[in-house]
Amino acid sequence: MTFPRRAARPGCVGVLAGGVTLLELLIVLMIIGMIAAIAIPTFSGSVSTTALKSAAREVAAGLRLARGQAITQRAEAMLELDVAARAFRVPPDPRVHALPPGIDLKLFTAQRDLVNDKVGAIRFFPDGGSNGGRITLAAGERKYDVDVDWLTGRVAILE
C-alpha cells in the first residue's frame, strides 16, 4: 500500500513547511535566557567545587606532614597558616603553599599558637597528639572543614 504524496508549497522544504511563528521564536529565546541566567553565575568568578576540595586536601596533607615530622623527629612540629595571604607552610621547609584566590579561610586553634589575627599554627607533639584545631575553607555556600583531633592528632576533612 502506498500513501499519496502531498504537494509541498513552493519555497518550503521538508518538515518546516509550516514555518516558525514569532511566538515560538520568543519562547525559545526566553528559555535560552533563563538557562544563561542560571548557568553564567555558576561558572564566572567563583571557585569550583573541585578547586575547593583540592585546597582542603592540600591543607590536610600539610597537617599530616607536620604530624609525621613530629613523630619521626621526636620534636614538636607545626603547620603555620596565613589566613590573609591564603597560604601555609610546614617549617623548617621554606616552601609556601598558596591556596587559590577566592577561598575564605578560618583558623581555630589554641590561643598560644596565634601570632596575630591573621596568622596562626596548629601544633603537633612527638607522641602524635596535637593542640587540636580546625581550618575552614569556604567559597560561597560550599565549605570544607579540616579537623585535627587534639588527642590523637588525626586529620579529617568534613563537608
pLDDT at 33 over 80: yes
For the chain, the residue count is 159
* 48/60: higher pLDDT: 60
What is the third-level CATH fold of 49-158? minor pseudopilin epsh fold (3.55.40)
pLDDT of residue 57: 95
Whether 150 contacts 129, CB under 8 Å: yes
Q: What is each CA distance from 75 to 67, 69, 111, in whole angstroms?
A: 10, 8, 20
Average pLDDT of 43-60?
A: 83
pLDDT of residue 99: 92
Residue 156 backbone dihedrals phi, psi, to 5 degrees: -135, 145
Percentage with pLDDT > 70 across the chain = 84
Say which residues have a Cβ less than 8 Å from residue 5's Cβ, sequence separation at least 6. none
Alpha-carbon gap, residue 37 to 14, rounded angstroms: 34
Q: Which of 2, 24, 47, 31 is nearest to 141 (CA)?
A: 47
Average pLDDT of 111-120?
A: 90
pLDDT of residue 140: 84
pLDDT at 15 over 60: no
Chain segment 85-95, per-residue pLDDT in tens: 999 999 998 99
Alpha-carbon gap, residue 158 to 56, rounded angstroms: 9
Q: What is each CA distance from 10 to 4, 18, 20, 122, in whole angstroms?
A: 18, 12, 16, 80
* 20/73: higher pLDDT: 73
Reading the block at residue 20, the C-alpha cell is 516558525
pLDDT of residue 35: 85
pLDDT of residue 25: 87
pLDDT at 98 over 90: yes
pLDDT band at 47 (very low <50, low <70, confident <90, very high): confident
Residue 148 backbone dihedrals phi, psi, to 5 degrees: -120, 120
pLDDT band at 56 (very low <50, low <70, confident <90, very high): very high
Which one-letter amino acid corresponds to residue 128? G
| In the chain, domain spans | 16-43, 49-158
Whether 77 contacts 124, CB under 8 Å: yes
